[in-house]
Amino acid sequence: MIGRRRPTAPAPDPWEEEGRRLAPQLGGLSSAVVIGVDTEATARVALGAARATARERRVAVADLVGAPAALRALAGAADAPGLIDSFLRGVSLNEVARPAADGTASLFILPRGNASTLPEEMLRSDRWSRLAAGFAEAGALLLIVTRAGTPALEALVRQTDGVVAVGDADIPMEWRVIAQAGERVPSPVPAAARRERRPRSRGRLVVAAAVGVSLVIAGIALWRQSTRGAARPHGAAAPAAPVQPAEVATPVPPPADTVRVPEPVNPRDSAAAAQFAVELVATNTVAGANLWIRERGNQLAGLTVSPVLLGATRARWNKVIAGAWLDRAGADSLLAALRSDDRLRAGAGAVVRVPLALLLEADVPRGAVTVRVAALAARGVPAYALVQDDGSVRLFAGAFATAAAAVPLDADLRAAGFAPQLAYRTGRTF
């Protein structure tokens, strides 16, 4: 007797898989605008990233495109109030936020509402800054789903941590691109092939929220957090051009790191790290980064270039970073000054936390610092000097949020014959 076959589980949506892949790049951030031409694909990227992130912290997905199917299925009643009602008519956010209908813990949907168009005044509202600040204070994440080309979108972007670009969305140079989701519309692949291409797990994420979190509690908490905090500075550093399309349709997992960066050599200095800096611009060529430095980086202290890998193709971008401060005030002051004297456009640039760097030399004589930095620059090394509390000088290269982010520059330096050490960057600019 032949038994019944169990129904085959539906193949994972490739855009949601792409969202899950890039979710780690949202770690430490509190808000991002997810932008694409295909609104359904854009919503699914946001959901994939949200579901992965919700294992660690609360996530809200805000719909500003008008109920794509993926979000509509999770939001519930279509006639309930939405974000437009909250921003323009004073409806409380706890009446808007809805727990995901599929039962995903710590995931909430903020629907747009029933209006046929999205008012520009809503995108220009400074309440987004307060909302983003509230999510940051609560350790939560806000993902805002938008359509590429929406009027006044820049006003929204500059109040968040940056952009997740989906597919071939045209992103202005001045906006900070956090991640690139897909280069072409992905197509489903057989399950066996998908298993072969899946990267090894790097460890289970910790489940951080109970399934029974109620809508009212979550909505009130998020809204009170958003309205209590003052607007924090938000800005966007700029890639020079969109990443070129890949040759394959399905997102390709990043290759395993060929260089392993060890733990910082000075772990006791973590609390004293000069973690704050200003990210000025990001370009897809070293020449572009160097050109920006030559034309606009005069007299900026602690100037360096940090290469990073973005997108499914692991395309290389070069972030120009300046300064090193123990507290945020110095970074905020520099960013404001650069915008004031037009070295940065209004809304461009961002204050970032980058406590790590690659230590090149320690105990450099103060009289030799300028010569040593110039000699390293001649060899293509983005070195800068920080003066320690005891008056000695250390030479660093790059500035990074995590050890993994330092891998590309570490590999470059080792290939050039250097022996860099990952370290917490301490001291003040020379």
Q: Note whether 215 and 292 are same-domain residues.
A: no
Angle, CA of 208, 263 and 403, to the nearest 5°: 65
Cβ(399)–Cβ(304) under 8 Å?
yes
Residue 242 lies in a domain: no
- Burial class from Cβ neighbours inside 10 Å (0-12, 13-18, 19+) for residue 350 reads buried
Instruction: Write out the residue range of the structural domain in which residue 323 sits.
Output: 267-429
Residue 96 lies in a domain: yes
Q: Note whether 292 and 417 are same-domain residues.
A: yes
Q: Note whether 70 and 168 are same-domain residues.
A: yes
Residue 241 lies in a domain: no
Q: Note whether 304 and 210 are same-domain residues.
A: no
**Long-range contacts for 199-203 (Cβ within 8 Å, ≥24 apart)?**
199/253, 199/254, 199/256
Specify the pairing of strand 163-166 against strand 59-63. unpaired
Q: Note whether 216 and 285 are same-domain residues.
A: no
Q: Note whether 334 and 400 are same-domain residues.
A: yes
CA dist 82 and 153 (Å) reads 19
CATH, residue 411: 3.30.70.1070
One pLDDT digit (tens) per residue for the chain, 430 residues: 344 555 454 567 899 999 999 999 898 888 999 999 999 999 999 999 999 999 888 999 999 988 778 888 888 666 678 888 888 888 877 778 888 888 888 899 998 887 778 889 999 998 898 888 888 888 889 999 999 999 999 999 999 999 999 998 988 877 888 989 986 344 343 333 333 333 333 333 222 333 233 333 344 344 444 444 433 334 434 343 333 333 333 444 433 333 455 689 999 999 999 999 999 998 888 888 888 898 888 889 999 999 987 765 667 889 999 999 999 999 999 999 999 988 898 888 999 999 999 999 999 999 999 999 999 999 999 999 999 999 999 999 999 998 888 988 998 898 899 999 999 999 999 9
Q: Note whether 288 and 170 are same-domain residues.
A: no
- Under DSSP, is residue 118 helix (H, G, I), strand (E, B) or coil? coil
Residue 252 lies in a domain: no
Q: Note whether 115 and 189 are same-domain residues.
A: yes
Q: Note whether 187 and 281 are same-domain residues.
A: no
CA dist 353 and 390 (Å) reads 24
Q: Note whether 188 and 271 are same-domain residues.
A: no
CATH, residue 24: 3.40.50
Output the DSSP codes for 9-52: PPPPPHHHHHHHHHGGGGTT--EEEEEESSHHHHHHHHHHHHHH
Residue 359 lies in a domain: yes
Cβ(22)–Cβ(181) under 8 Å?
yes
Q: Note whether 167 and 21 are same-domain residues.
A: yes
**Whole-structure pTM over 0.75, yes or no?**
no
- Number of domains observed in the structure of the chain: 2
- Burial class from Cβ neighbours inside 10 Å (0-12, 13-18, 19+) for residue 296 reads middle
Residue 60 lies in a domain: yes
Q: Note whether 53 and 170 are same-domain residues.
A: yes
What the block records as the tokens of 98 is 């809805």
